[in-house]
Structure 1
Amino acid sequence: MKDVLIRSVFGALFLMVVFTPFVYDVRNGGNIMNMVFYVFTMLGTHELFEMSKKSSFKNNLKAPALLLVTALFMPLLIQTASQFFPLLYNPVWDFILQTPLIFVLWGILILSILVMSYWIFKREKIDFVFKNTFLFNFFYPLLPMWILACAYTFSNGETKTLLLIVLLPIYLNDTLAYVCGRLFGKTPLIPSVSPKKTREGFIGGLIGAALVMLAILYFTDQFTKANALAIVGVSVLASILATLGDLFESKLKRSIAIKDSGNILPGHGGILDRIDAMLFVAPVLYVLLALIIS
């Protein structure tokens, strides 16, 4: 009971950290979420290099990796700060960050997610990624978080609300999959990767997330046939990608025989344990939806 309480409290605090800046940004046209994305990426990079110490490979490039994260996020952080300190604004950053290169990197990200998903099913162990942790860190977690931050920064207030549509199914799927798994779970999903995950939990999370999103659509007077089909499609895709993201991190930890990526969040583990699903879902779907409605 105590463990459930601790997990619930810190889970709620985590969601507050994510959604409070988001609400501010939507209401005031800001980009405070960039600070969240940056901090998550820095912590994720730190955890990844700490995890590499449990592997049979030596990696001594954590400081350069953290500097790379800061260098890539710096233009975005300057844009964020310019809302409060207009003298910091420089249109050069707009030009740099809105070039077609972003879409090329988005394509590379999708390809890397497909490769990592392939490893889940076809590789017994994936600790080989720690042969070059600096390079792996670029694809996981730096590239997903940076692309998401770039797309978010140059979205208007209405488009920014898409982040909520992308993130909600992740947390709904996680919660409902856990509940359905505990109540009805009998058949392991992929026992060699995550013994506690069940097919019943996966199906319950997927269907449950879609139903809750439909209910939200209905009670906010946005329910139309087109909107319903769109929200179900987004929810289902988000649930599938979220599950793959969770399984990938589980396999990564299992490959080096650790339980959590860190201990920053009591009851949850490390920051990578909390954003593993988000890394596979958020940048892919947010950019896709932003392109569709633009």
Structure 2
Amino acid sequence: MELKKGKTIVLTMWGTMILFPVLALVFIILRLYCRRWLKKATTGYLDDYVLIFSWVLMVVTSTIGLMLAKHGVGTAIMAGEEVAVEPEVMHALLFWTSNLLLFGINAIAFSKVSWFITLIRLVVNCRQKVALWMLMVFSTTLLLVASTFGYYQCHFLPDGSWSYPEMSDHRCLDNGVAIKISLVTSIYSTVLEFALAAVPAYVVWNLPLKQSTKIGIICATSVAFVSAMMGALRTKAYYDHLFPLGKLPEMYSLGCVIMFAVLEVCTTIIAASIPFFRPLVKKMAKAYDEDELSWP
């Protein structure tokens, strides 16, 4: 049967997974500049290191995603009315997708860890700190287990070939169980994103600061809601990938999952960096005032 290409987001994937990692790197550099050179902070760099590590994992995820795009991921390949995947593509698809899950989920996990550490430093209530620590440990453990679970769901046979579920059921975990665990983890991750985005607003509003300062900090941290939206879109695309309903074919929806996962990590990095730009904003405002005073 003749194969034909349908809807595609390959160009969007290329643009997104090249532009946004570069943009996230710019925000990390500005964050380090504000903390280390403008504020001259001598401690509290753990969240910086974790954020950088998350960025590295995300770059690996983007690279694998772009490799998969060459194999048709992000494009609806149809054979008549049915979704089709060419046999020679299947091996590369299964192998690289498992690696992508390993790096991608860990990138999401460590980006959240960095945000957790920043929030723990922000809150002053002891109970809130303990609650954030417990939630961080639980969430990180869950995501790390999910990434490992996805990687080892199926593995190589002794002769080096890939073990397909239909060829060797005893070498693959039950697909129904895998789908349920993966989807529940994805939904939990998204809900956690929205919860973490709301925490700064609650904490800052109860601090003894000027109202204008509170509003400024809340606006800076509200970018985290964009990351939460990317997580929601990733979960929706993942659902479409796991449960094809005839609207979004499997290869197409897998491309959406990869793209939104990269966007989720990038926007988390951006959201975690913006609150540290206050010294830079003050410096720029001061320079602007001095220039204004020097005018004739």
TM-score of the pair, normalised by structure 2: 0.35
Which of the two has higher C-alpha Rg?
2
Q: Which has the higher contact order (CA 8 A, sep 6+)?
A: 2
TM-score of the pair, normalised by structure 1: 0.35
